[in-house]
Structure 1
Amino acid sequence: MKNTKANISEKFSKFSAQWTPKIVGELNGQLVKLAKLKDDFVWHSHENEDEMFLVWKGTLIMEFRDRTETIKEGEMIIVPKGVEHNPRTENGEEVWVMLFEPAATLHTGEVVDERTHNDQEWI
């Protein structure tokens, strides 16, 4: 375990890259990650893992094949394993999210895209 206490706003100030989650903590095989998101991502799913998004700043749009959910600051959404989804933002807004997911989870699932990052960088 690298971090037991963290100032989340300070951690967000340490990076500017979008769609590149940074690790800020670990517990019970789960990683706590921060990410800055802007515009569209990529449709994907995680076959064996649920994924939780907590919106720290802005408004996240989570597209599913059968509906679209809007997640505002202070709200969260859990995407069940195996459910195809596409997180995105609107109107050029940068959205800051905290993610909780198993350490083995790749943020694009099985989809390989220009935004796929296999590196797990701690900040």
Structure 2
Amino acid sequence: MSDIHGIDPSVPPSGAGCAQCDAAGGWWFHLRRCAQCGHVGCCDSSPAQHATAHFRESGHPLVQSFEPGEDWYWNYDSGELFESGPELNPPASHPADQPAPGPRGRVPADWTKSLRR
């Protein structure tokens, strides 16, 4: 899968959390990492859905979960889930001590009411 269009295993993640949420003082439920450029964005259940917005703006079709212990990929173009794929440049997830939802200190007490389904 490493020679598939949309995956560059050499690119590191853009950070430990969603940069757009961080800049806006927001929070996320789970994180996704673009397999092509390393952009880390929040998932579709998160209020801002920055990973999908990145796909729409960039055309980069593949993301990998950026959650500890998960290595699945999602293809936005085809709507396919891949249980595994090539190993990307470390780190493979946000820090294990960073909670999900996160980041610590910015998640509202009633966060479940803000989840998108």
Same fold (TM over 0.5): no
Tell me the TM-score normalized by structure 1: 0.25
Structure with more strand by fraction:
1
Q: Which has the higher helix share?
A: 2
Instruction: Report the TM-score when normalising by structure 2.
Output: 0.26
Q: Which has the higher contact order (CA 8 A, sep 6+)?
A: 1
